[in-house]
Amino acid sequence: MSGMMPRAAIGLIPAAGLANRIAPLPCSKELYPVGFRIDETGNAKRPKVVSHYLLEKMRLAGVSRIYFILRTGKWDIPGYYGDGSMLNVPVAYLSLGSTWGVPFTLDHAYPFVRHSTIAFGFPDILFRSNDAFEKLMDLQSKDEAEAVLGLFGRKCDPKYDAVDVDDDGRVKNVIIGSSSQVAGYSWAIATWSPVFTEFLHTYVEDQRRLAARGSELSVGHVIKASVEAGLRVQSIVISEDPYLDIGTPDDLELAMQLGVSGQL
């Protein structure tokens, strides 16, 4: 693990979604099994749920603790992970009722994380790089960026934001739900500083005060607004391959095939 992290990092994982695209499920989407892990004896294989991969990568980067932010009723997640002993990293839980998108979910953790470096990821997204968060944190420390995005090859699909960067990797724009057929990159993970956390908090408060709300906000909207406001947002390519979003039927099927064959 690199020693270049500016301060102890906290993992932040939103888990307040309804999983409508793959409903009904017998459990929270974040606990859907897509592979296998070796148990503590080193012998028996145990099912490995989709969010376990993200928590593992955060732990490998040295995060000091992880917060799940849960929608009320998703109690199977704390029931499964408990205090985080299975991953050797403390895990805690924050709950909320309704939410108008992931930025509102993340802002629920503001009183607990406002002074910390954040490692952020989606619990239903899979990618192979085990040192991804370490790379982001190293770059954030070296570059003194307010945020760093982990980039992946982008599918030509509106669910993938397109990220426009300059030659030095600085983010110039985030095109929300772009249907462009031009090859490029999307983002799936990020690290950010307390400066970005404050920006997100203010952004959410401003949006909350709006009388009429449009479509649900995404984290991409916040990143785009932060770039337009002059915050330094850098990026690093994690993989030329697209990530898998198991919240969609096609990616879930592929993830299960890869998990069974041990390729995740």
Q: Report the SS3 class of residue 133.
A: helix
* Per-residue tokens: 254: 């592929």
Domains and CATH numbers, the chain: 9-143+191-217+245-260 (3.90.550.10)
| C-beta separation of 107 from 207 below 8 A | no
Please list, in sequence order, all residues whose beta carbon lies within 8 angstroms of the beta carbon of residue 236, skipping any fewer than 6 positions away. Answer: 135, 136, 139, 148, 149, 150, 151, 169
Residue 10 has pLDDT above 60, yes or no: yes
* 235-256 average pLDDT score: 92
Beta strands at 65-71 and 91-96: parallel, antiparallel or unpaired: parallel
Residue spans of alpha helices (H) in the chain: 50-60, 76-81, 102-107, 110-113, 132-143, 194-208, 219-228, 249-260
Burial class (CB in 10 A: 0-12, 13-18, 19+), 137: buried
Q: What distance separates the 2 farthest-apart alpha carbons in the chain?
A: 57
Checking if the pLDDT of 257 tops 80, the result is yes
State what percent of residues in the chain have pLDDT above 90: 66
The SS3 call for residue 232 is coil
Q: Cis (ω within 30 of 0) for the bond into 24?
A: yes
Quick count: other Cβ atoms within 10 Å of Cβ 48?
17
Q: What is the pLDDT of residue 26?
A: 86
pLDDT beyond 60 at 19 = yes
pLDDT of residue 179: 67
- 36, pLDDT greater than 60: yes
What is the separation of C-alpha 243 from the centre of its chain, rounded to a whole number of angstroms?
12
What number is the average pLDDT over the span 57-74?
95
- State which amino acid sits at residue 157: D
Residues 17, 15: Cα–Cα separation, whole Å? 6
Instruction: Note the pLDDT of residue 167.
Output: 94
Quote the tokens at residue 232.
């330094």
For 6-20, 33-47, 141-155, which range has the lowest pLDDT when averaged over its residues? 33-47
**pLDDT average, residue stretch 1-30:** 76
pLDDT of residue 28: 92
Residue 260 confidence (pLDDT) above 80: no
Would you place residue 232 in the very low, low, confident or very high pLDDT band (cuts 50, 70, 90)?
Answer: very high
- Run of H or E residues at 174: strand 171-175
What pLDDT score was predicted for residue 150?
Answer: 98
pLDDT in tens, 69-112: 999 899 999 999 999 999 999 999 999 987 788 999 999 999 99
Could you tell me the pTM of the whole model? 0.92
- Per-residue confidence (pLDDT) for residue 182, from 0 to 100: 62
Instruction: Return the half-sphere exposure (C-beta side, CA atoms, 13 A cut-off) of residue 170.
Output: 13
The alpha carbon of 170 is separated from its chain's Cα centroid by a whole number of angstroms, namely 20
> 7 falls in which pLDDT band (50, 70, 90)?
low
φ, ψ of residue 48 to 5 degrees: the values are: -115, 120
Q: pLDDT value at position 262? A: 73
pLDDT tens sequence across 173-231: 999 876 666 668 999 999 999 999 999 999 999 988 775 456 788 999 999 999 999 99
Q: What is the mean pLDDT of the chain?
A: 89
How high is the pLDDT of residue 4?
Answer: 42
Packing angle of the helix pair 50-60, 132-143 (nearest 10 deg): 40
Give kind and range of the element (H or E) at residue 175. Answer: strand 171-175
Number of residues written out for the chain? 264
Query: 166, 153, 117: which is closest to 238 by C-alpha?
Result: 153
Q: What is the model's pLDDT at position 20?
A: 73
